[in-house]
Every structure is written in C-alpha cells, then in structure tokens.
Amino acid sequence: MSGGELVAWLASLAVLAASWPFLPWRKIRDREALLVFLVVVAVLVAMRFATVALLPGLALHFLGAALSVLMFGWSFGIVALALATGIAALLGGDVWLGAPHEFLAGAVLPAAAVWTLLTVSRRWWGRNPFVYFLAVAFGGGALSIVVAQGGKALAMWLGASASPDAIAMNYLATMPAMMFSEGFLTGGAMTILTMYRPRWVATFDDAFYLRRP
C-alpha cells in the first residue's frame, strides 16, 4: 500500500468516525425508512456502474451525493455513499484511483459542499421552498459535480496520473454537461419526493419552508 493510499484510507475512516456520533439510528428502526435507505444505496451502487470513459482509466458517472445528503442528512448521507462506494469496489465497479480516493473525492467533498450550500440558503436566502428546489437541490447537484470532478482533476494533475490534455478532456470539458445532468436528476428527484413522500426527505422542514415566521 502506497503512502497516498494509506492517507486516503485514514482520512476516509476519520470522516466515518466523525459522522458516527451524529447518526440518528432511530430513523432506520422503522421498516419503511430502512427500506428506503437500502434502495437508495442500491441506486448509488448502480450509478457507479453506469460509467462513461472517454479515455482508459478516466471514467465519469453520476454521483448521487447531493441526493443522498438531502434525503438523509449529512451523517447518514455519508454512510450511504460509503456503503455504495465499498460495494461497487467489491463488485468490480469503476472507483477511480481506489475506493478511499473515490469516497473522498466523489462523496465527502461534494456532500460537504451541498451541506454548506443548504446551511447558507437557510440562513441568508429565506424560507421560500423554491430556493430549496432550485438553489439547493438543482444547484447542489451541479455544485457536487464541480467539486468532485475539479478535485479529481487536481489530484490527477498533482500526481501526474494523466496528461493535462487527458484531464482537460475527461473532467473539465465534460463538466457543464455533467453539472446539468446531475442537477436535473437531483432537483427532479427531490421535488417529487418532497411532494409525495416528504417523510423520506430529512432536510425539507415544513415548519421552516411553508409556514410564516
């Protein structure tokens, strides 16, 4: 195991350890909530097999990080992404430079960006539910792609894992299309879930968004 891989494993374990005390276990004691969690994990795993590789070793896929965090909150969202990354790695899916690197770049960083966006929107952008759907769900999905692909491109450039032309072609040139796709997927899914199954969405608070202060 190389030094970089060891650091990635330690950082991944540290993130999971930091999330552990905040896990609301009571939420998955309900059979329906547990089933929803497992279904989302399965969808996240499937996303990691639905890849597009413009160049060998450089693959693109939907992340689901924004969707996971907005549905389950920060702690359970990270756990869902960790399970999806680990299962995909065990099943032979494309996990970038390895499971811990994929988890950090494709899950932790975008999840942190989306959670920050949600926090900022609640504090500064008011109680309008359209802010949640457009800025947080759609915008958060797009932001997650920027953070993940930008982080991967930077890591590969610093590590000389690919040529600058290859990095630009695979991660930067495709970023706008992936941003819109991930944003549309996340925004559409969160809109439908909030309308028809609001109890499945941990971050949409009726008292906050729908009632007058």
CATH number of the domain within which 81 lies: 1.10.1760.20
User: Pick the residue with more confidence: 61 or 118?
Assistant: 118
Contact 107, 78 (CB under 8 A): yes
**Residue 17 clears pLDDT 70, i.e. is over it:** yes
**Residue 84 clears pLDDT 90, i.e. is over it:** yes
**Residue 192 clears pLDDT 80, i.e. is over it:** yes
**Residue 201 clears pLDDT 70, i.e. is over it:** yes
The pLDDT confidence band at residue 107, using thresholds 50, 70 and 90, is: very high
**How much of the chain exceeds pLDDT 70, in percent?**
88
**Residue 187 clears pLDDT 90, i.e. is over it:** yes
**Residue 186 clears pLDDT 80, i.e. is over it:** yes
User: What pLDDT is attached to residue 174?
Assistant: 81
Q: What is the pLDDT of residues 151-185, one digit of tens each?
A: 888 877 776 666 777 777 777 778 888 899 999 99
Cβ within 8 Å of residue 45, ≥6 positions away:
84, 87, 88, 91, 93
**Residue 90 clears pLDDT 80, i.e. is over it:** yes
User: What pLDDT is attached to residue 161?
Assistant: 64
Domain count, the chain: 1
- The whole-chain average pLDDT of the chain stands at 84
Range of the domain at 21: 3-209
Cα(104)–Cα(8) distance, integer angstroms:
8
**Residue 87 clears pLDDT 80, i.e. is over it:** yes
| pLDDT, mean of residues 198-203 | 90
User: Pick the residue with more confidence: 99 or 93?
Assistant: 99
| pLDDT, mean of residues 98-121 | 90
pTM of structure: 0.87
User: Pick the residue with more confidence: 28 or 174?
Assistant: 174
**Residue 40 clears pLDDT 80, i.e. is over it:** yes
User: What pLDDT is attached to residue 119?
Assistant: 92
User: What pLDDT is attached to residue 110?
Assistant: 94
Helix axes 65-90 and 139-158, enclosed angle (nearest 10): 50
Contact 85, 103 (CB under 8 A): yes
